Structure 1
Amino acid sequence: MTLGQKIAWDDTILPFQLDNADIRGRVARLDGVLDGILKQHAYPAPVEALVAEMALLTALVGQTIKLRWKLSLQVQTKGAVRMIATDYYAPESEGAPARIRAYASFDANRITDSAPFDQLGEGYFAVLIDQGKGTEPYQGITPIAAGSLSACAEAYFAQSEQLPTRFNLSFGKSTEKGGVEHWRAGGVMLQHMPKASPFAQGGGSGEDGLLVASDIVDGEDRENWNRANMLLDTAEDLEMIGPSVAPSDLLVRLFHEEMPRVFDVQSVRFGCTCSEDRVRNSLSIYSAKDIEKMTTDEGIVTADCQFCGAHYRLDPKTLGFEAENSPGDNG
């Protein structure tokens, strides 16, 4: 199989449930989505890896939100990588693809040869859900901790949602026979079904007293949870990224005794929502004097989208709340 041949399960998310263990989950495979995200920027290798991990987490977490909702994951730190931002746009209608975009802000002079997570400093990992007009966005935050972005996400679900959650991710550049090097990523997310948890009171046993999964399951639930995690640990990298192993085959191999039951697959694409109208709207709060300060020597106002690299060149006379002309006016 060469690079040009798309595999059926590329850029998909497969929801499933382990009926014998009261656990739900998702399998995600990203290929073209990562190419779409990463080709927009010349990121250093550690930054690329962090963005790839964040995009994979976003796909796994985002699949649960409702139609037309938006989920964002954000990392803000004092380290060399100052910010990573991702957005997951749920399908507009049943059967339509979801869309993902992502980018990172970093100080190139501070990037080292250390592991990707070491490029982050003190900061926080945030989950934001936008349900649309007329609603207040939800936001949950947990500190950067535990050695990986996936561990930060696990801590968020334990601390903020009291949901035992586990991620096993694999991502990196691969070269298929006859093809060229490109990014692939795959992962599995496990999550215990929600229920009241009296074991989650007070501080947790994780780093800095954060709650972890073992703090919020007990008895038979803990046995089921630990067994599913041990089975997940046997997944190999090539099974995870899936050039030749279908997600459903991976689930059967890992969890056949837990009676895995799969649901409709969700396709996902790289997609950005930026537009000239959105840029104009963001500038509509500025006065003519403010717009003048933004105007270049060429007599235009420029704007760049950090997510997709789109470049906008705008007539300053058509911008701001004191605009003399509307877009397209000749006068």
Structure 2
Amino acid sequence: MQPAHDYEPDDVVLPFAVENADVRGRITRLGPLADEVLRRHAYPEAVSHLLGEALCLLALLGSTLKIRGSLSLQTKGDGPVRLLIADCVSDGGGKVNLRGYAGFDREADYTGLDHAFSRLVGQGYFALTIDPGGDADRYQGIVALEGASLSECAERYFLTSEQIPTSIKLAVGRVYAREAGRFAPEADAGHWRAGGVMIQHLPRRQDLVRAPEDPLDEHEDWRRCRILMQTASEAELLEPRLASEELLYRLFHEDGVRVFPGARAVFGCRCSRERLAGLLRQYPREELAELLQDGHITGNCEFCNEAYRFTLEELVPEMAP
């Protein structure tokens, strides 16, 4: 394995290759980024866990973009979490901007649903959309919301839409100060973290390519790497003092693993006061007047929860005295 890079361990996505197998992958540990996104919303724990997984998954996928463009992940179902959206924008030079939000039933009881993916999202679809920007066409792939986790939905997407055998492991949770213990009594104590590993079988020899309709006919190297990756524990994926390179060595040291320069992941919302004002100005004056509360119209960004306040005169200049 190559020496560790000059990155902080958090909010970085590292590509890697298992040396003696046709397996490529990515690993990420989201610390400040995950904590900022999830704290901005104060969702129920189960909803926060689900959004954290989406952010982590999108960091793994979005860092593969080699051009300036965007990638978005969406689930839409008939469960209490009716909508889950995460998107990222790549600068094409080693940095991705991530954001996300969840649309959910605020009256539902989420007790004990932290890992109950199917009960949270219900039936619906999982979609990935790539937008290269400019005049290039967007590409969208959609699969049914089938599987016991968001990871399984993504694995199914890659197998059916891209014909690439893929295995993904995600973990989300709060990490507390040692003196407070791992499970502190305060509901809002601790910092959110997310971690994930993704590997894909990308054989260089055509005779090793397996038909997607025959998933049991796996190559031995791929089967072994998939089993080894799944041994990564939630604690290992979330531990801030365990470097990603060290975890990869624990998993694949028998074959050898090579780590490549990574991409920095940062929180980045594209909302602005000017953009929201432009949207509000499309409404008739009468409807804007009905939205007034204490002399202001307030709008919140779904992604970052930033609140913007406007007077009616700011939106309809001709009404200014």
Query: Does the pair score TM above 0.5?
Result: yes
Normalising by the smaller structure, the TM-score range is 0.7 to 0.9
Partner of 1:14: 14
Partner of 1:199: 211
Post-superposition Cα deviations, 1:134-189, rounded to whole Å, max 9, x if no partner, equal 22321111111111011111111111111111101222112132576111221110
Q: Letter of the aligned partner of 2:276 in structure 1?
A: V
CA distance in structure 2 between the partners assigned to 1:134 and 1:302 by the alignment: 35
> Superposed, which structure 2 residues align to 1:297-316 within 5 Å?
297-316=293-312
CA distance in structure 2 between the partners assigned to 1:282 and 1:129 by the alignment: 25
Where 1:98 maps in the other structure, the secondary structure is strand
CA distance in structure 1 between the partners assigned to 2:162 and 2:203 by the alignment: 9
Where 2:50 maps in the other structure, the secondary structure is helix
Normalised by the length of structure 2, the TM-score is: 0.84
Verify the 8 A CA contact 1:172 1:184 in the aligned structure 2. Answer: yes
Partner of 2:154: 153
Q: Letter of the aligned partner of 2:86 in structure 1?
A: T
Partner of 1:208: none
CA distance in structure 2 between the partners assigned to 1:297 and 1:237 by the alignment: 46
Where 2:254 maps in the other structure, the secondary structure is helix
CA distance in structure 1 between the partners assigned to 2:268 and 2:167 by the alignment: 27
Post-superposition Cα deviations, 1:73-93, rounded to whole Å, max 9, x if no partner, equal 111111111111111121x36
Verify the 8 A CA contact 2:65 2:92 in the aligned structure 1. Answer: no
Change (3 A) 1:225 1:277: same
Verify the 8 A CA contact 1:9 1:247 in the aligned structure 2. Answer: yes
How far the C-alpha of 1:318 sits from its partner, in A, is 5.0
CA distance in structure 1 between the partners assigned to 2:21 and 2:278 by the alignment: 49
Verify the 8 A CA contact 2:79 2:122 in the aligned structure 1. Answer: yes
Partner of 2:248: 251
Q: Letter of the aligned partner of 1:223 in structure 2?
A: E
Deviates further, 277-286 or 100-109: 277-286
Post-superposition Cα deviations, 1:102-135, rounded to whole Å, max 9, x if no partner, equal 1111112223334331222111111111111222
Partner of 2:80: 80
Note the residue ranges of structure 2 that are not aligned, 5 or more in a row: 1-6, 181-188
How far the C-alpha of 1:309 sits from its partner, in A, is 1.3
Deviates further, 53-62 or 242-251: 242-251
1:261 pairs with one of 245, 258, 261: 258
Note the residue ranges of structure 1 that are not aligned, 5 or more in a row: 1-6, 206-213
Verify the 8 A CA contact 2:22 2:203 in the aligned structure 1. Answer: no
Verify the 8 A CA contact 1:111 1:119 in the aligned structure 2. Answer: no
Where 1:232 maps in the other structure, the secondary structure is helix
Q: Letter of the aligned partner of 1:158 in structure 2?
A: L
Verify the 8 A CA contact 2:67 2:132 in the aligned structure 1. Answer: no
Partner of 1:110: 108
Where 1:257 maps in the other structure, the secondary structure is coil
Post-superposition Cα deviations, 1:50-99, rounded to whole Å, max 9, x if no partner, equal 11111111111111113431111111111111111111121x3635x322
2:232 pairs with one of 235, 239, 244: 235
Aligned residues: 301
